[in-house]
Structure 1
């Protein structure tokens, strides 16, 4: 959640520039105008910090719970130039290497790099610019595997799966509303299943742990390969699929852990669509609401049976994706059965029953062939309300049936939801990780 790219709220904590979870949602990092901090989620503990008057950090990306972080300068006094990615070793308290991105030509004009986002997953380093995406093999020096074109991507939208056997990257397409699904293993440097630990974070890249690196290595994007293959000598067959996900511009993306499912929303923020990344088939279309909203985060649970989102409405929504998780079936799904005498409902459409997936549905859903698509929508199974309606990130917690929200006002909320009946979540705890 890059707080500097969206309008600030009246309750925002001063000096907070960025907040983001690590790959397994067990930790989160924040960027400040004085540096950065890393917190453990369960319990909420400040594990590491690097703060000084040297300047601000606008982006912090963690590599699981390792000592490597990717940093980009930010704020009024950036610690590093905003067009550089710094790979930082928190144990040695110094940069390992940096990547610099100079101005580049786009549509026959020179555009400065104002938008720079970073993602680290396994042995891949992904750098997202306003309309380009660079994918590197995470080593020293980093090897450029490929670069992709996108439409204007001011939010730096991208997501990478954490599975080594099914490494998937999703980014916006070249046209508005399109989604690109990229098989990262088709780019080269294939990582076998045996090279990662499925019960925890993967082994560190061996080239980065070498003691021979005594100082940071500076690299310019102009000195890398041309993106057609390793060293630019051979062209590889890249596995890329295109999905026309929405008619409007994409606003948020997410992948489940094994890369088999992805979720998207548009700038309208009313519908969340879930796709199969292998077949590009639409699996679910979920409705957040009818009013336009900005979606801040989408997260799958570990089993990919549920999905949660947060928006600028101050509400967290939880959806069921697998009917098998619905254990309470006393509520029959809406709709008549064969031979049943139908009495047309007199209730308003705001009264909901449960659909076959366990989500709420309209009371008029049995007339979905006659009524607009709205009446066949699936609404959230459970929800939680952020009291201050602050901008927040949300994820499923380590405890069963729990969710965690990290808010721009420097607070952290933990909620539990009823897996049988859904409805309003119960607030378990409230803590302030960043005081005024």
Structure 2
């Protein structure tokens, strides 16, 4: 592994890397920030220096990078810049967004950007190629987390209730699938699609990572223009034994549940992503912990831990 110590030790709260390149974006954090919390510093690690900076009137909540654009998220506004010359392309007003929720497509030639709308539980999907914005009423409660596939064609959302995860078609705004994390309220920390959009991973403050099977057909988009309607018939999980009386029982009896789980130690917050090998999951904790796990969707059992490290444990000095 590689790490870098700066001369003036200060807090850094946000780090975003442009793919696997030498270009990073920093925002300071803490009582003694390395950089002001209202500034975005563009760092070239090959030159070991900041090459650009952007200053704002309020604290920066999040950054998103693509090869063609830089996205800066404030609590009530999002700015999108051309990355080559830092010219402002457009800006978006949002509802209060203290978490800095925002996602952008990574592999598509044209930008797909997802952010909160102006209403509670509302998501806006901006397709830059068509200059269109799709509004999706995803939840009745405040948005807590969402994730976008790399191509930008699927969106997964969770609210502050943390019980249901919904998957939408971003082009048409239609609800494709709904899965259940659990019955109790939970704070969702992370959502992640597998590269093929066959699986969705979820982490929460309950200390369990779940993997769900997705039944969306990317080659056959629904033509239903309705958003998250109460009349939408959620597919019944194959393992459900209550499907024959689903109309007579509460909705959770016919819910789709996870096909694999992994129970985490401690109380750290964890984010999840999928590994390069089939059916593998990478779990990273704020306490420096790293887990690599393998799941068997056919068995529905606990995941198998393949690897564990803690990157904050004392090692050799940084360069």
The two structures have a TM-score, normalised by structure 1, of 0.66
Within the candidate set 272, 275, 281, 1:397 is matched to 275
Higher relative contact order (CA 8 A, sep 6+): 1
Are the aligned partners of 1:170 and 1:179 in contact in 2 as well (CA < 8 Å)?
A: yes
Relative to structure 1, is the Cα distance of residues 48 and 54 closer, same or farther in structure 2, using a 3 angstrom cutoff? closer
Alpha-carbon shift at residue 323 of structure 1 (Å)? 8.1
Alpha-carbon separation, structure 1, partners of 2:129 and 2:89: 10
Shift of 1:361: 4.6
Cα distance in 2, alignment partners of residues 133 and 119 from structure 1 = 11
SS of the residue 2:75 aligns to = coil
Q: Report how far residue 358 of structure 1 moved.
A: 9.3
Q: Tell me the distance in 1 between the aligned counterparts of 2:216 and 2:87.
A: 43
Paired with 1:47 and 1:144, the residues of 2 have a C-alpha distance of 33
Q: CA deviation at 1:390?
A: 1.9
Larger Cα Rg: Structure 1 or Structure 2? Answer: 1
Q: How many residues were matched structurally?
A: 298
Does 2:197 match 1:253?
no
Q: Distance in 1 between matches of 2:173 and 2:216?
A: 21
Distance 2:11 2:198 in 1: 38
Q: Distance in 1 between matches of 2:216 and 2:128?
A: 31
Match in the other structure for 1:20 = none
Judge conservation of contact 2:124–2:136 (CA < 8 Å) in 1.
Answer: yes
Matches of 2:68 and 2:55, distance apart in 1: 20
Residues 390 and 54 of structure 1: CA distance in aligned 2, closer, same or farther (over 3 Å)? closer
What is residue 121 of structure 1 aligned with on the other side? 66
Q: Does the aligned pair in 1 maintain the 2:149–2:155 contact within 8 Å? A: yes
Cα distance per residue 1:257-301 (max 9 Å; x no partner): 111100000011110000001111101101000111111110000
What displacement does 1:417 show? 0.4
> Counterparts of 1:419 and 1:154 in 2: how far apart (Å)?
36
CA distance in 2, matches of 1:283, 1:408: 32
Asked if structure 2 preserves the Cα contact closer than 8 Å seen for 1:115 and 1:154, the reply is: no
Paired residue secondary structure (2:115): strand
* TM-score, reference length from structure 2: 0.89
Give the whole-Å Cα distance in 1 for the aligned partners of 2:298 and 2:51.
49
Partners of 2:109 and 2:250 lie apart in 1 by 42
Is the CA contact 2:108–2:152 (under 8 Å) kept in the aligned structure 1?
no
Report Cα offsets for 1:116-140 as digits up to 9, x if no partner: 2110023111111001011111113
- The 5 Å alignment of 1:141-220 reads 142-186=86-130
Return the offset for 1:164.
Answer: 2.9
State the 1:435 CA deviation: 1.7
Contact 1:358–1:381 at 8 Å: present in 2 too? Answer: no
Partner of 2:203: 310
Find the aligned partners of 2:93 and 2:82 in 1 and give their Cα distance.
19
Of 17, 29, 39, the residue aligned with 1:84 is: 39
Partner-residue secondary structure (3-state), 1:399: coil
2:220 is matched with which residue? none
Describe the superposition over 1:6-37 as per-residue Cα deviations: whole angstroms up to 9, x where unpaired. Answer: xxxxxxxxxxxxxxxxxxxxxxxxxxxxxxxx
